[in-house]
Amino acid sequence: MNHTVTPDGRYFVVRGRLWRMPNPSLPAEVRESLVRNLMDARRAMKGDRTAEERASARQQVEAAKVALGERGPVWWDDGAPDENRKLVKNSAYAGCFEGLAHPTPVKLK
pLDDT tens-place string over residues 27-82: 999 999 999 999 999 999 998 999 999 999 999 999 999 999 999 999 999 999 99
In a domain, 62, yes or no: yes
pTM confidence score: 0.83
Query: In this structure, are 63 and 88 located in the same domain?
Result: no
Query: In this structure, are 55 and 39 located in the same domain?
Result: yes
Domain of residue 89: give its range: 1-24+82-109
In a domain, 55, yes or no: yes
The average pLDDT across 76-97 equals 94
Query: In this structure, are 11 and 39 located in the same domain?
Result: no
Query: In this structure, are 31 and 64 located in the same domain?
Result: yes
Contact predicate 84/18, CB 8 Å = yes
pLDDT exceeds cutoff 50 at 26 = yes
Q: Which of 77-81, 87-91, 99-103 has the lowest mean pLDDT?
A: 99-103
Domain count, the chain: 2
In a domain, 13, yes or no: yes
Query: In this structure, are 38 and 50 located in the same domain?
Result: yes
In a domain, 76, yes or no: no
pLDDT exceeds cutoff 70 at 101 = no
In a domain, 52, yes or no: yes
In a domain, 75, yes or no: no
48 Cβ neighbours under 8 A, 6+ residues apart:
none
